[in-house]
Amino acid sequence: MGVISWVNHHADKLRIYKNDISLVRDSAEGNLAIVCALNDSAKQITQVSSIYGALDLINPSQTFYHWNLSSYPMNRSQKAYITSIIRL
């Protein structure tokens, strides 16, 4: 949160609104932006946009949409890697 505090402190020099800091990131960085906002006890971050970030990290069999590995084209080694890191 040090970066957000620094940005907030230098808002005039940066020519931004001090009380309107937004984070916009994609993929894994989108997840980090959300974590930063959730941990922002000083309420410095007013908006977060996570573009195609993975937000649902539960076991695929427990989701309401029942994600299926066979829906994605991949070779045998790619499938073996995916199944080694998540329990299907």
Got the DSSP string for 1-53? -HHHHHHHHTHHHHT--TT-EEEEEEHHHHHHHHHHHHT-TT--EEEEEEES-
CA–CA distance, 83 with 85 (Å, rounded to integer): 6
Are both 33 and 7 inside the same structural domain? yes
pLDDT confidence of residue 15: 92
Are both 10 and 28 inside the same structural domain? yes
pLDDT confidence of residue 67: 65
pLDDT confidence of residue 10: 93
> pTM higher than 0.85 for the full model?
no
pLDDT confidence of residue 12: 93
Are both 64 and 24 inside the same structural domain? no
Longest dimension (CA), the chain: 54
47: containing domain: 1-55
DSSP 39: T
What averages of pLDDT result for each successive group of 10 residues across the chain (88 residues)? 86 89 88 88 90 73 72 86 75
pLDDT confidence of residue 28: 82
User: E strands, 1-88, where?
Assistant: 21-26, 45-51
Domain count across the chain: 2
The residue with tokens 């941990």 is 39
Structure tokens at 16: 């931004």
Are both 47 and 85 inside the same structural domain? no
pLDDT confidence of residue 29: 86
Are both 29 and 6 inside the same structural domain? yes
pLDDT confidence of residue 47: 92
DSSP 41: T
